[in-house]
Structures are given as structure tokens and as C-alpha cells.
């Protein structure tokens, strides 16, 4: 028994062999981290300028409703780019910060279903945070790389599927700019 001001040592280690293995399984390899940082969608990478994306042959259409010059936010779409149904690119301060790819039900069928997209993401990024039961029920998954400021999400949209790659620093900066712009009367 510990005296006043002393900490009593635990009688047993609460880590089981199973929890230790789970920790090892969850660790992210350096190769996966490089893949997350260098992830490319047909040559398009986070951090590129609109001009660099256009140089890849992407025909970008400006989405005026999502543009906000004051916040230095620009949103572009590209339809039917290399077999993708819809590609949405968001730029903050002239740099690509978010890429979203929408797959229609028809495209998903051609690919072999949402599971094919999911398996390809696992092959590149390792296992997501969710359990297999959650993924099967919701058709959604999240891969977080907080030290690299990247997140990858996959989830249903209507009857299709949406995959989004995001630079957490840029989206955080955008949120701060939006909050500062809001007029709350004082």
C-alpha cells in the first residue's frame, strides 16, 4: 500500500497480447506514409496549382457557387476525366487542398462494386480506422494520417460512392478564415 503522496504500482499489466498485436497492426509503415503524402489521382496531387492540373489535360470547369475570392477558395469540377464520373477539386490560396471522386452506380458495377475501390485503397493505404463490420454496413471508411496532415474518406453518396483526399492544414486554415469572416454583430 502506498503512503501519502506516493503512487501505488499496478499489480498487473493491463496490456494483453491481443491488444499489443492490435497496436502493431495499426502502426503505419514509412512506405504507406509516403504513399499518403505522394498520393496521385491520374497525376493530380494535393498542393498542385490549377495550372498544373490543367497541364495534365484535365478540363476544369469553375464552380462559381463554391468560389470565394475573399477566402481565396476556388472549386472546379471535371466530368468524365479518365473514366471518373465526377472529379471535384478545391483550391485554397491557389493550392489543391481537397480532391473528391464520385463514382456512379454504373461505374461501380463496371469496377466490381464499392469493394473494389475499398480494396485498392487498402492496398495503397493499409487498413482504415473502422472495423470490417462497420465498413460492410455503411460502405464507408476513414484513413487518417494526422502527422502528415492527410485524410482519406470513402462513403456513399446517393446510390454511388465518394472518395475524398484532404490536406488537413489547408482545410483547417479555410475554416479559420470562414469563422473570422462571420459577422455575429459584435
Rounded Cα–Cα distance for residues 6 and 116 (Å): 56
**Burial class of residue 162 in the structure, from the number of CB atoms within 10 Å of its CB (0-12 exposed, 13-18 middle, 19+ buried):** middle
End-to-end CA distance of the chain: 57
Residue 68: pLDDT above 70? no
Given the C-alpha cell 497496436, which residue does it identify? 23
pTM of the predicted protein model: 0.70
Q: How confident is the model at residue 70 (pLDDT cuts 50, 70, 90)?
A: low
Reading the block at residue 145, the C-alpha cell is 494520417
Q: For residue range 85-139, list pLDDT tens digits in order.
A: 889 998 888 889 999 999 899 988 988 888 898 898 888 888 887 666 766 767 7
The domains of the chain are located at: 30-176
Q: Which range (11-25, 34-48, 64-78, 143-157) has the least confidence?
A: 11-25
User: What does the pLDDT read at residue 2?
Assistant: 46
The more confident residue out of 180 and 154 is 154
Amino acid at each position: 500500500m502506498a503512503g501519502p503522496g506516493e503512487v501505488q504500482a499496478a499489480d498487473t499489466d493491463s496490456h494483453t497480447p491481443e491488444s499489443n498485436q492490435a497496436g502493431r497492426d495499426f502502426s503505419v509503415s514509412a512506405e504507406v506514409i509516403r504513399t499518403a503524402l505522394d498520393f496521385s489521382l491520374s497525376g493530380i496531387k494535393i498542393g498542385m496549382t490549377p495550372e498544373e492540373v490543367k497541364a495534365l489535360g484535365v478540363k476544369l470547369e469553375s464552380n462559381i457557387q463554391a468560389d470565394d475570392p475573399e477566402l481565396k477558395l476556388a472549386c472546379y469540377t471535371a466530368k468524365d476525366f479518365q473514366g471518373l464520373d465526377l472529379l471535384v477539386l478545391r483550391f485554397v490560396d491557389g493550392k489543391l487542398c481537397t480532391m473528391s471522386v464520385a463514382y456512379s452506380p454504373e461505374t461501380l458495377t463496371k469496377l466490381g462494386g464499392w469493394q473494389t475501390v475499398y480494396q485498392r485503397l487498402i492496398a495503397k493505404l493499409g487498413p482504415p480506422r473502422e472495423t470490417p463490420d462497420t465498413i460492410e454496413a455503411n460502405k464507408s471508411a476513414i484513413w487518417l494520417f494526422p502527422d502528415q496532415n492527410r485524410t482519406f474518406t470513402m462513403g456513399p453518396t446517393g446510390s454511388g460512392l465518394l472518395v475524398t483526399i484532404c490536406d488537413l492544414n489547408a482545410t483547417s486554415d479555410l475554416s479559420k478564415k470562414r469563422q473570422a469572416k462571420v459577422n455575429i454583430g459584435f
